[in-house]
């Protein structure tokens, strides 16, 4: 099952289960993820994500050199959104983890051939960009990989793939997209997951987390827990009746998972 289809199922399951819904408090908006063991807090400054491996703060600082408007998040069940005119940023909480997305409605900035999203990084984890800018490892103080940002892809509204990469400059992480000839709106899709998902033999599972081009939202990430992956744990229903995902149903967790779900 393609990764983007898995994310759609995760969003639908999260919308149907109040355990994944966002809660407001005096200090912001909070979500918890019972399957992944994650918590996140949202406010006008950005999002703070915490897990057993450490903490990660993400804050959008510029869009091709332009400062984004500071806005308070809005909430609808498991979805948290920031509306910034031509740019909309959203998060969806579900069994796979916490998904992030941006939608860019039109060209922004002075360079028609390049789009750059710059995020300020904070928290206890230290970022290290992989060769070629294909991914980012976020290291705990002891050097262990606590979170990964990878499977980065970008596409325009016609489905055409666009060259995209990560770059790190001090405490800021950039997503750089070659937008020459692109049709708006655009999508940029990295996945954020805890640790490294692996198969039962210890090798990295090549089939997990692959991303296919979709219409142009910008930047979809997933924050998940290595011990309780949702990836691959769905399959077509043979009979109907699921209002949240009519075509999919749970299967037992795959062999790289330490936990099992009932059919």
Whole-angstrom distance, CA of residue 149 vs CA of residue 263? 30
Structure tokens given for 63: 């869009």
Residues 6+ apart with CB under 8 A from 25: none
How many residues appear in the chain? Answer: 263
Instruction: For the chain, 263 residues long, give each residue's pLDDT as a single digit of tens.
Output: 676 677 788 889 999 999 999 999 989 999 998 887 889 999 999 999 888 889 999 999 999 999 998 899 999 999 999 999 898 888 889 888 888 778 888 999 889 899 999 999 999 999 999 888 988 888 998 898 887 777 677 889 998 999 999 999 888 999 999 999 999 998 776 655 565 433 323 333 333 333 332 223 333 445 544 444 333 223 232 223 333 333 333 333 333 233 333 33
Residues 6+ apart with CB under 8 A from 169: none
pTM: 0.72
């Amino acid at each position: 099952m393609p990764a983007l289809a898995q994310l759609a199922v995760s969003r639908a399951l999260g919308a149907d289960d109040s355990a994944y819904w966002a809660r407001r408090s005096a200090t912001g908006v909070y979500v918890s993820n019972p399957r992944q063991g994650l918590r996140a807090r949202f406010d006008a400054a950005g999002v703070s994500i915490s897990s057993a491996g450490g903490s990660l703060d993400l804050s959008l600082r510029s869009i091709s050199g332009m400062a984004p408007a500071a806005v308070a998040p809005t909430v609808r069940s498991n979805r948290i959104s920031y509306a910034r005119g031509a740019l909309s940023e959203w998060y969806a909480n579900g069994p796979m983890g916490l998904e992030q997305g941006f939608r860019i409605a039109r060209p922004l900035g002075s360079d028609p051939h390049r789009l750059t999203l710059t995020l300020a990084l904070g928290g206890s984890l230290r970022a290290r960009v992989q060769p070629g800018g294909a991914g980012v490892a976020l290291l705990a103080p002891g050097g262990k990989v606590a979170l990964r940002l990878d499977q980065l892809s970008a596409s325009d509204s016609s489905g055409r793939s666009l060259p995209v990469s990560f770059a790190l400059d001090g405490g800021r992480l950039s997503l750089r997209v070659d937008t020459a000839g692109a049709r708006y709106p655009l999508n940029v899709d990295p996945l954020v997951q805890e640790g490294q998902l692996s198969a039962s033999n210890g090798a990295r599972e090549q089939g997990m987390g692959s991303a296919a081009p979709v219409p142009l939202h910008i930047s979809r990430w997933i924050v998940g827990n290595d011990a309780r992956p949702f990836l691959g744990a769905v399959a077509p229903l043979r009979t109907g009746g699921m209002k949240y995902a009519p075509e999919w149903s749970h299967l037992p967790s795959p062999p790289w998972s330490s936990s099992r779900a009932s059919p």
